[in-house]
Chains A and B, each alone.
Chain A
Amino acid sequence: MFYFYPVLRLFGLSFLPEGNWDLGKLRELVSDSFYAQTLWFTTWQATVSTVLTMALALPGAYVFARFKFRGKSLLQAFTTVPFVLPTVVVAAAFRALLGPHGLVNDWLMAGFNLSSAPIQIDRTIWFFLLAHIFYNYTVVLRIVGGFWAHLESDLTEAAQMLGASGWQAFRNVTLPLLWPAISAAMLLIFIFCFSSFGVILILGGPRFATIEVEIYRQAVHLFNLPVAAALSLIQIIFTFSLMWIFTWLQRKTAVDLNPVSQVASQVRAVSKVQKITVRANVCFMLLFLGAPMLALLIRSLTADGGFTFTFYTALFQNRSQSIFFVPPIEAVMNSLLFALAAMSMALVLGTLAATYLAGPKNRGTSLLDPLFMIPLSTSAVTLGFGFIVALDRPPLNLRTSVILVPIAHTLVAFPFVVRSLLPALRGIPRSLREAASVLGASPWEVWRTVDLPIVGRALLVGAVFAFAVSLGEFGATVFVARPQTPTMPLAIFRFLSQPGSLNYGQAMAMSSILMLVTAAGFLFLEKFRIGTIGRF
């Protein structure tokens, strides 16, 4: 079991030092009302985000599950893009749309001759709640919609034949069957929002602090490492238990039901109500998910009302005299290199881990399954923080090493690879491997000739996921990246936190590049997506 040793070791190293401090600090924390408030706020905003997302996205999931319409697959691919966008880009996009100098405000001000921006949601709760919904919309669409599409419509029909009204059939048949998927989606969204960092840091401003943001502040601004460590620990415990529930739920959802081919269960919208439902949802998706991205692009291309490439060209010049300043184009190069390195490492580790998990069920696999999800649930900030705390002394003194960034990215990307591969590997009937074995293939040959070719696409999905995750990773990178080697999200963050329209424009430009790269990667992936692979 050599392969997950490095992972565990990294975890051990990053968490153990904290373990020594936490007891006293933990008590302090609990008694301090400010932190209790932070915890309360974190939970509160995560709950509200989750509920709002569910409310807005469930109709969309229904439409996707039950109806056929033109451009559906394209739209489906499109809705995935927000989810894979780096948080920094999402934040930047929302600023570009609704910020004080955002598109909508500019238009409204120009249109009605207002002296001040009419929409004042910058630095309010609504701003990042919106961003959270934007971000997680597709999670509902994927998990619930996918599950819904596989539910036999016979069941609803059978209920109706037995005298249930449409609503009763939904409540008594569809909803209970969907419940595992819904709860899994809710849990996942909750976890994401709970450990939300970039969005709140950039959109929420100093007034709001989730635990994640507080960890960052304590560690970076106040240098109060023990408090930060204790906070991380609380968060890890919290998210890990949620994650454990999630994998448990997911395993439950995986068994039931005989899946029907989606085509059979989907119809064209016929009646007026159906047509309106479909159109309304499609419009909502396009508007809600598309507008911020479009605003970002427009913002990056306009200055003082004119069309310009200034911001893009500015990316290649060093205007600042700061010694820490690195030409932005170098950040792009850094990002790409880190992403490549992280992708390869995550692929190797992820493949090994998934192969182990897909093997015979035992205590090891049921324990490790959620364990491998830790990096996904552990906030990136905690991870980055753990890195600098743990790796700054022998035997592993990597604090100053560039290698730290790809390693951190690998850990963040690793669960995505595992999640993409696992369903594919589990989906291979045991008899296929046995057939190969009886025909004379050694275990290694079985893996090479049966497993590998069949999960090839899933591997590709995992690779692009890993690449995109690394490209957009912000929370951990903020800690571990050397000032001389920033990545794209870091550069965007710097631009955003500096005043001036040029900086703002450059942030928009770089966000646009990052968005296009990730979006292109994922649209490319949609072509290769098969079945449930790539969902998690």
Chain B
Amino acid sequence: MVLLEVSNICKKFNSKLALDEVSFSLEEGRILCLLGPSGCGKTTLLRIIAGLEAPDKGKVVFDEIDIAAIPPHRRQFGMMFQEFALFPHKNVFENVAFGLERQRRTPQEITLLTSQTLDLVGLKGFGQRKINEISGGERQRVALARSLAARPRLLMLDEPLGALDRALRERLILDLRSILKKVGVTAIFVTHDQSEAFTISDFIAVIDRGRIEQIAAPETLYLRPKNQTVARFLGFNNFLEGIILEDGGVQTKIGVFYPDSGKGNKDDEVTLLLRPEAARLIDALTQPADNETIISGMVQERLFHGRNYHLSLKTETGLFLTFEVSNQTPPPQKGKPIRLAVGPAGMAVEPVSVKEQK
């Protein structure tokens, strides 16, 4: 069942367009992630849904009701803020109980629900702590508990892990997903970190310069980015221009590639995407397998990243490409020639729709 329906939202700040005709819908119980670089308008979109900003144009329909006229405190939404926005003058329990108190619940209910929620986020017995006495990770949990305690009909999370260090983020994101799924809450999650987005969401909406570029499940997004903007945002840098041949291959400057997911007709101009993990190292004598294409060039940079090597190479035609290759066979040193085989299977190559509109 569609719970939230956002249509044609526009918003200007000082005559600069922050959101441009944004539309999407969200089903009950799903987690949607708004992914985009900072300043792309994702937080603004969130604030419009929460009722903290008014859109210049467009509609937000929740549970089949247009909620434009409903002030934020009557929407029964939950929101987790970037810096958590915990009340410094209240302790953990009082923070979590705040929303329940606003609902005029009985003290027994408030105590019960608050401690239940604290248990849920793994903060049993933290109730009487002061906000400035707990660590960053604990604050994040308090903020989550506070936004969940009053059983919001929609939970919004605005870069909820942005204020934490990397190791903590990676641990908490998994907890976050399992808690959200346990509660079964419908949620919108805003982040600029693609790995966060992939971990937590059922759907990802990639936003750039105020527009939604693509909404898809994480796998689809990764395997079939709709255009270069999306692909670049996912961290892909190897783009090759080419033309589709009769046999389905793509003719590029550095050879013919055979993507397994090619769409399009003969003579279509396309942009080919080589994912960084798509290449394997081969020596000068080894012949490529069927459908594999050989790329040869000079090593420009060779960085050891533990699990793999980060290679950047310059092809004979002067193209710069970057790949991650397995650490099993060390690649040649900088300045030495290198041969890579790129296969079609799964993560090999990906035609990026029809050529980007210029």
Partner of A434, one of B78, B85, B89, B99: B85
Cβ-based interface call for A432 (8 A): yes
* Chain A contacts for B76, CB-based, 8 A: 440
A438–B88 CB distance below 8 A: no
Q: By the criterion CB–CB under 8 Å, are B85 and A437 in contact?
A: no
Docked Cα-Cα span, A247 to B51, in Å, equals 34
Check B73 against A435 for contact (C-beta < 8 Å): no
Expressed in whole angstroms, the Cα–Cα distance for A438 and B79 within the complex equals: 7
Tell which of A431, A440, A454 touches B81, judged by Cβ atoms closer than 8 Å: A431
Whole-angstrom distance between the alpha carbons of A446 and B85 in the complex? Answer: 13
| Cβ contacts B86-98/A at 8 Å (1 or 0 each) | 1111000000001
Task: Give a binary string over B56-91; 1 marks a CB under 8 Å from any A CB, 0 the rest.
Answer: 000000000000000111111111011101111100
Closest to B103 in A: A440
By the criterion CB–CB under 8 Å, are A432 and B150 in contact?
no
Q: Is the CB of B99 within 8 A of A439?
A: yes
User: Most A CB atoms within 10 A — which of B72, B74, B75?
Assistant: B72
User: Count of B residues near A, CB < 8 Å?
Assistant: 27
Contact A438 B102 (CB under 8 A): no
Given contacts A440-B99, A440-B103, contact A434 B150 (CB under 8 A): no
Tell me whether A441 is interfacial, beta carbon within 8 Å.
yes
Known: A431-B81, A434-B79, A434-B81. A440 touches B87 (CB 8 A): no
Please report which residues of chain A, range 445-461, place their CB below 8 angstroms from some CB of chain B when the two chains form the complex.
445-446, 449-450, 453-454
Q: Which residue of B lies closest to A439 (CB)?
A: B99
Please tell me if A164 contacts chain B, counting CB pairs below 8 Å: no
Within 8 Å CB of B89, what residues of A? 453-454
Q: Which of B78-137 contact A (CB under 8 A)?
A: 78-79, 81-83, 85-89, 98-99, 102-103
Evaluate contact between A437 and B99: CB separation under 8 angstroms: no
Determine if A442 is an interface residue (Cβ-Cβ < 8 Å).
yes
Of A429, A438, A454, the contact of B73 (CB 8 Å cutoff):
A438
Tell me the minimal C-beta distance from B238 to chain A in angstroms: 40
Contact with B along A418-435 (1 / 0, CB 8 A): 000000000001011011
Inter-subunit contact A445/B102 (CB<8 Å): yes
Residues in B neighbouring A7, C-beta threshold 8 A: none
Of all chain B residues, which has the CB nearest A452? B89
Report the bound CA distance from A434 to B51 in whole Å: 10
- Cβ of A159 under 8 Å from chain B: no
Least CB distance, B313 to chain A, in whole angstroms = 40
Bin the interface of chain A by size.
10 to 19
**Which of A437, A440, A443, A446 has the most chain B CB atoms closer than 10 A to its own CB?**
A440
Known: A431-B81, A449-B98. A437 touches B73 (CB 8 A): yes
Residues of chain A lying within 8 A (CB to CB) of residue B99:
439-440
Interface centre among B50, B76, B86, B102 (most CB of A within 10 A): B102
In the complex, which of the residues B77, B83, B103, B150 contacts A429, with contact meaning CB atoms closer than 8 Å? Answer: B83
B88 touches A439 (CB 8 A): no
Chain B: minimal CB distance from A6 (Å): 30
B146 within 8 A of A: yes
Q: Are A439 and B102 in contact (CB under 8 A)?
A: yes
The docked-state distance in angstroms from the alpha carbon of A223 to that of B147 is 68
| Given A439-B99, A439-B146, A441-B102, A450 contacting B73 (CB threshold 8 A) | no
B98 near A432 with CB under 8 A, answer: no
Q: Does B354 contact A (CB under 8 A)?
A: no
Report Cα–Cα, A442/B75, bound state, in Å.
11
Residue A398, interface by CB 8 Å: no
Q: Does B183 contact A (CB under 8 A)?
A: no
Of all chain A residues, which has the CB nearest B158? A431
Chain A residues lying within 8 Å of B77, measured Cβ to Cβ, are 438
A437-B73, A439-B78, A453-B89 given; A431·B83 CB < 8 A: yes
Q: How far is the CB of A454 from chain B (nearest CB, A)?
A: 5
Answer whether A435 and B102 are a contact pair too, CB < 8 Å, given A440-B76, A442-B73, A450-B87. no
A contact residues around B52 at 8 Å (CB): 434, 437-438
Cα–Cα distance between A441 and B72 once the two chains are bound (Å): 9
Within the complex, what minimum Cβ distance (angstroms) separates A60 from chain B?
Answer: 32
Q: Which of A429, A443, A445, A449 contacts B85 (CB 8 A)?
A: A429
A166 to B76, CA, bound (A): 59
Report if A173 contacts B (CB, 8 A): no
Specify which chain A residues have a CB less than 8 angstroms from the CB of B103 in the assembled complex.
440
Interface positions, chain B 219-264, Cβ under 8 Å from A, are none
Complex Cα–Cα for A436 and B78 (A): 10
**Which residues from A are CB-within-8-Å of B51?**
438
Instruction: Provide the residues of chain A in CB contact with B79, threshold 8 Å.
Output: 434-435, 438
Task: Decide if A436 touches B98 in the complex (CB within 8 Å).
Answer: yes
Q: Would you call B98 and A438 a contact (CB within 8 A)?
A: no
A149 CB to nearest B CB, Å: 21
Interchain CA distance A412-B78 in the complex, whole Å: 45
Most buried by A among B77, B88, B103, B147: B88
Closest beta carbon of chain A to B100's beta carbon, Å? 9
CB distance from B268 to the nearest CB of A (A): 48
CB neighbours (8 Å) of A436 from chain B are 73, 87, 98
CA–CA, A376 and B157, complex, Å:
46
Q: Which residues of B contact A446 (CB under 8 A)?
A: 73
- Considering the complex, give the chain A residue whose CB is closest to the CB of B143: A435
Of A434, A437, A438, chain B has the most CB atoms within 10 Å of the CB of A438
- Kindly provide the distance from the CB of B6 to the nearest chain A CB, expressed in whole angstroms: 17
Q: Which residues of A contact B83 (CB under 8 A)?
A: 429, 431
Q: Judge whether A435 and B150 touch: CB under 8 Å.
A: no
Q: What B residues does A453 contact at CB under 8 A?
A: 89
Whether A435 touches B85, Cβ cut-off 8 Å, given contacts A440-B103, A440-B150, A445-B102, is: yes
A438–B78 contact, CB under 8 A? yes
Q: Assess the A440–B102 pair: CB atoms within 8 A.
A: yes
Q: Which residues of B contact A432 (CB under 8 A)?
A: 85, 87
Q: A435 to B81, Cβ gap below 8 A?
A: yes
A358 to chain B, nearest CB (A): 17
Tell me, in angstroms, the Cα distance from A239 to B74 when the chains sit together: 47
CA distance A449 to B73 in the complex (A): 14
Contact B102 A431 (CB under 8 A): no
Q: Which residue on B lies nearest to A434, using beta carbons?
A: B52
In the bound assembly, the distance between CA atoms of A445 and B86 in angstroms comes to: 16
Please determine whether B150 and A439 come into contact, CB atoms closer than 8 angstroms: yes
Q: Is the CB of A438 within 8 A of B72?
A: yes
Docked CA distance A445–B72 (Å)? 13
Cβ contact within 8 Å between B81 and A439: no
Chain B residues contacting A435 (CB-CB under 8 Å) are 79, 81, 85-87, 146
Nearest Cβ on chain A to B62's Cβ, whole angstroms: 14
Contact B85 A439 (CB under 8 A): no
Minimum distance in angstroms from B182 CB to a CB of chain A? 21
In the complex, which residues of chain A have a beta carbon less than 8 angstroms from the beta carbon of B82? Answer: 431
Closest to B97 in A: A439
Q: Determine whether the beta carbon of B72 is less than 8 Å from that of A437.
A: yes
User: B310-347 vs A: 1/0 string, CB under 8 Å?
Assistant: 00000000000000000000000000000000000000
Within the complex, the shortest CB–CB distance from A322 to chain B, in Å, comes to 55
Q: How far is the CB of A145 from chain B (nearest CB, A)?
A: 26
Name the distance in Å between A503's Cβ and chain B's nearest Cβ. 51
Closest beta carbon of chain A to B67's beta carbon, Å: 13
Complex Cα gap A111–B76 (Å): 82
* Nearest Cβ on chain A to B126's Cβ, whole angstroms: 19
Give chain B's interface residues, CB within 8 Å of chain A.
50-52, 71-79, 81-83, 85-89, 98-99, 102-103, 146-147, 150
A-B contact pairs, 23 of them (CB 8 A): A431-B82, A431-B83, A432-B85, A434-B50, A434-B52, A434-B72, A434-B79, A434-B85, A435-B86, A436-B87, A437-B72, A437-B73, A438-B50, A438-B52, A439-B73, A439-B147, A439-B150, A440-B102, A440-B150, A441-B98, A441-B102, A449-B98, A450-B87
Known interface pairs A434-B50, A437-B52; 15 further A-B residue pairs with C-beta atoms within 8 A, sorted by A's residue number: A429-B83, A434-B52, A434-B79, A434-B81, A435-B85, A438-B75, A438-B77, A439-B73, A439-B102, A439-B146, A441-B73, A442-B71, A445-B73, A449-B87, A449-B98
List of 5 A-B pairs having minimum Cβ-Cβ separation, nearest first: A440-B102, A439-B99, A431-B85, A435-B85, A438-B79
